Amino acid sequence: MNNLKGDRNLYIAALLLCLALFASCTAEKESMYKKSRMLMDTFVTITVVSGSADEADEAIEKAFSSIERFGGLINFFSDKSEVAEINRKAGMSAVKVSPATIDIVERAVYVAAKSGGAFDPTVGPVTKLWDFTKKKKPSGVRIRNNLRLVNYKNIIIDRDRQTVFLKEKDMLLDLGGIAKGYAADLAVINLQGNGIKSGLVAVAGDIRAFGSRPDGGEWKIGVKNPRQKNGSDEIIARISLSNKAVSTSGDYERYFFINGRRFHHLLDPKTGYPAECCRSVSMIADEGVFADGFSTAVFILGPEKGLGLVQSLGMDAIIIDNNGKIHATPGLEGRFEIEENH
């Protein structure tokens, strides 16, 4: 009997140990929740890290609505947007707009000034001459005519009165080159406001990451190969980052060929013709709006001048030049990896 009692105690001890082990394993685990939606005429995907599916779902929905609202304000193609109103009143009167619009216009002007006009939100009058779906190249005369209207310095922002005014009649403000990055910023702020600590917002190729993956690592972003060999999402390089934004401008998004020459949508505001030094530029910055704007600016400037600008801004970039050579800034060392087959 005594022997049995000793056994019993041993068993109970072992049992308690097992229970304790398992109790410590079942602590709440965070996982990734991912949702996609068509917003601002593009595919928006939000990934969040959360311990609860309901919390994640609610936060993602709210972030989607914030993007949708913002998209309504700055949509170049909608008559009801504030940007459309600014364009209608060009050369006539200042237009009172919402704080978000003032904010993004200010940033657009900042990017334009920093890049010496390589990025210009008033390139619209030239852009509209090019038709990339009908593959039409406009005449040099028409381009030269409309180039006169392109000048970001003619955007007058009045912070006090909350107005934006375009000085010249027929000027066009188009925030398309900066809006997706800004939308990603908005969504991130919205998610953080709703208690989300980590996540990833991708408005098409304009991505902003905050916090870390559930495994504690950084977010992994693939950079699309500008010359796809097979499949539509072939990746040329990958970057790991957290609390950063990345945007890519590439000559492969909208383009057509005439006599083997590629005409794409990234027009140099100085010449009115596509800039030809790069295939793609991926810009890494703290804010999505700057990643988006400066990726276009660096693309227009070309690898040499572009890298100079990137360094002066203290940002990072991956530039694939028109020979397919990949240039990366030193700041990316250790967090940037070229795919094996390149």
Partner 1 sequence: MRRRALKEDLRLKKIIKNITLADWTLLLVLLVVSVAGIFITKEALPRGTDVTIEINGEPAYTFPLNVDRTIPVSGSYGDTLIEIKEGRVRIREAHCPNRICVKQGWVSKGVIICLPNKILVIVGSGGGDKPGKEIDAVTG
Q: Which residues bind partner 1 (CB under 8 A)?
A: 7-8, 11, 14-15, 18-19, 22, 25-26, 28-29, 31-34, 36, 45, 47, 53, 200, 202, 205-207, 209, 213-214, 219-226, 233, 235, 238, 246-248, 250, 252, 280, 282
127 vs 273: CA distance, rounded Å: 9
Give the largest CA-CA distance in the chain. 108
Angle (CA) 311 314 319, round 5°: 50
126 vs 291, beta carbon nearer partner 1: 291
**Least CB distance from residue 244 to partner 1, whole Å?**
11
Distance (Å) of CA 263 to CA 199, 252, 257, 284: 36, 10, 6, 26
117 vs 205, beta carbon nearer partner 1: 205
Structure letter (DSSP) for residue 40 = T
User: Do 182 and 104 form a contact (C-beta atoms < 8 A)?
Assistant: yes
115 vs 295, beta carbon nearer partner 1: 295
**Least CB distance from residue 312 to partner 1, whole Å?**
23
Q: Which helix (H) or strand (E) holds 198?
A: strand 198-203
186 vs 291, beta carbon nearer partner 1: 291
Q: Which helix (H) or strand (E) holds 99?
A: helix 99-114
97 vs 223, beta carbon nearer partner 1: 223
User: Do 188 and 210 form a contact (C-beta atoms < 8 A)?
Assistant: yes
181 vs 272, beta carbon nearer partner 1: 181
Q: At what angle do helices 176-193 and 288-301 cross, to 10 degrees?
A: 160
Q: Which long-range contacts (CB under 8 A, 24 or more apart) does 57-60 make?
A: 57/33, 58/194, 59/190, 59/191, 59/194, 59/195, 59/196, 60/33, 60/35, 60/191
- DSSP secondary structure string, 119-161? S-TT-HHHHTT-BTTTTBPPPHHHHHHHHTT--GGGEEEETTT
**Least CB distance from residue 30 to partner 1, whole Å?**
9
**Least CB distance from residue 104 to partner 1, whole Å?**
20
163 vs 85: CA distance, rounded Å: 11
**Least CB distance from residue 269 to partner 1, whole Å?**
22
And the tokens for 54?
A: 């309901």
109 vs 159: CA distance, rounded Å: 13
Q: At what angle do helices 176-193 and 99-114 cross, to 10 degrees?
A: 130
34 vs 69, beta carbon nearer partner 1: 34
